[in-house]
Structure 1
Amino acid sequence: MKPSFYPTHYVSSIVVLAWLIVMAVNRALAVNLSLMGSLLLLFGVTVMLVLIIVNLVNLFKWRRKSWHPGPRLY
């Protein structure tokens, strides 16, 4: 049985984090950042990318679990 909808907290957090990355990079390109500002931006974007990957993994785990509701035979 296929899931009819995805859990909104995974999808919305992925969308919000991607939007924050786009806004941060856009702001960084608009102004001339110092070295410390560039490092902080790089750190923040890296953390947000890791959170996106974690949410994608959780979303795929949820999808796989919801498609196989019974006990697994392997």
Structure 2
Amino acid sequence: MRQKELKTVVTFHTVTEAIAMETACMKEEIPGRIIPVPREIKAGCGLSWAMPADWAGNIGQWMEKKDLSWESVGEYFI
């Protein structure tokens, strides 16, 4: 069994918001990937963005600068 790691998880209201996040992160080489929303989180669209919790930037501020919409941001062991 794979050991769980602490990740920053961003949830979205819509699939369109999740895809916009993925596209923006890929352009700027921000690590992470789209995953199904973990069971312990309630979220709108069923997709989330998971990235290393120790990423050097502030993801909330970065998303605001990029005019990206999201539902919530939190750290979870996944």
TM range (shorter): under 0.3
User: Scaled by the length of structure 2, what TM-score is found?
Assistant: 0.26
User: Higher relative CO (CA 8 A, sep ≥ 6), structure 1 or 2?
Assistant: 1
Answer 1 or 2: which has greater helix percent: 1
Give 1 or 2: higher strand fraction. Answer: 2
